[in-house]
Amino acid sequence: MLLSIHLTISKNSARKILSAHRAAGKERASNPMRADREARAPRTNTTSPKLARQKPQIINNFSLCNFMPLTDEQVAALKQQLKQQIQHLPEDKRAAAEAHIDSMSREAIEAMLAQEQTRTNIFRKIANKEVDSVVVDENSHAIAVLEIRPLSRGHVLVVPKTKVTQKQALPNEVLELAKKVGEKVQRNLKPKETKVNIEQKLGEVVVEVVPVYEGLPLKSESEREVVPIEELEKVKEEINVVVMEKPKPEVVKIEKKEEKSEEVVRMKRRIP
């Protein structure tokens, strides 16, 4: 039975577990005999055949193969936390969800923990340029990068350099950068329209610049695909094309001076 329930591991739990992992890693490094025993010890595998056939996930160059195994106590504590998130469900659905959580393998819990830790830090990594991103523009308050799984060609993500959690606290400089990028996208990629949306994602406030093209609807979540860096670089160049306007020819006005007609003085004829 598939459950469409979004379960996450809280930051506090993730932090505690990761701290325990680091401590355990140091202990294993100082006690190689124990590390060898643990490596040889069989691990209970309750993973379904379908999951067992899947390759280890790679999340932002982080392999779950390198994630230290959780203890039984840690797995039980995390499962209990997940169960607390489904208490609002109707009784029949809650029972099915609890059964699903109970059946989750240690590997599945480890995968969820690793993914949550990675997702939590992704915007900070973008802002600090710790991950490969195609930067379209930036200022002292924000950085604008091309979305690697875009809704449309030229989809830009504007990330504040300092974490912002409330929309009303978003600095004007972040919106100014988004507006600037949006104008370049509209001018150079020539979409039907360009939307600038303030979004709340993964506990942070970011701004999305999304071009909408004539006859091309925005991609759904299932249709979004990772675009190669090389292709994103080409899009960046198109967005940042500088349009040189031809100078208008200077019109030289020649003032025509009015010629004054010479005044003819007529003398009266004198009769001698």
pLDDT digits (tens, 9 = 90+) for 52-62: 333 333 333 33
pLDDT confidence of 191, banded at 50, 70, 90?
very high
Contact 81, 56 (CB under 8 A): no
Report the 10 Å Cβ neighbour count for 240: 12
Contact 207, 175 (CB under 8 A): yes
DSSP character at residue 65:
G
pLDDT: which is higher, 33 or 216: 216
Pairing of strands 58-59, 62-63: antiparallel
pLDDT mean over 241-270: 64
Instruction: Write down the pLDDT at residue 54.
Output: 37
Instruction: Write down the pLDDT at residue 12.
Output: 55
Instruction: Write down the pLDDT at residue 44.
Output: 46
Lowest mean pLDDT among 115-124, 136-145, 154-163, 197-206: 115-124
Residue 168, amino acid: Q
pLDDT digits (tens, 9 = 90+) for 106-146: 888 888 877 766 665 789 999 999 888 999 999 999 999 99
The pLDDT of residue 8 is above 60: no
**Residue 252 to residue 125: CA distance in whole angstroms:** 57
The pLDDT of residue 178 is above 90: yes
Instruction: Write down the pLDDT at residue 229.
Output: 94
Helix H, strand E, coil C: the string for 177-198 is: HHHHHHHHHHHHHCCCEEEEEE
- Show the domains of the chain with their CATH numbers: 11-127 (no CATH), 135-239 (3.30.428.10)
3-class secondary-structure state, position 143: strand
Lowest mean pLDDT among 13-17, 102-106, 224-228: 13-17
Pairing of strands 156-160, 62-63: unpaired
Instruction: Write down the pLDDT at residue 31.
Output: 58
Q: Which residues have CB under 8 Å from 208's CB, separation 6+?
A: 147, 155, 156, 157, 158, 195, 196, 197, 199
pLDDT confidence of 230, banded at 50, 70, 90?
very high
Alpha-carbon distances of 261 from 221, 253, 265, 266, 267, rounded to whole Å:
85, 24, 12, 15, 18
Tell me the whole-structure pTM to 2 decimals.
Answer: 0.53
pLDDT mean over 161-172: 94
The residue behind tokens 């030289």 is 252
3-class secondary-structure state, position 9: coil
DSSP character at residue 8:
-
In the numeric block, which tokens belong to residue 248?
């208008």
N- to C-terminal Cα separation, the chain:
139
pLDDT mean over 233-242: 94
Q: Please choose, from the candidates 244, 242, 231, the residue with its C-alpha nearest in 3D space to the C-alpha of residue 154.
A: 231
Q: Please choose, from the candidates 59, 46, 149, 164, the residue with its C-alpha nearest in 3D space to the C-alpha of residue 113.
A: 59
The pLDDT of residue 218 is above 80: yes
In the numeric block, which tokens belong to residue 119?
């997702």
Q: Please choose, from the candidates 148, 151, 152, the residue with its C-alpha nearest in 3D space to the C-alpha of residue 230.
A: 148
The pLDDT of residue 172 is above 50: yes
Alpha-carbon distances of 257 from 250, 260, 263, rounded to whole Å:
22, 9, 18
Residue 220, amino acid: S
Residue 115, amino acid: Q
pLDDT confidence of 21, banded at 50, 70, 90?
low
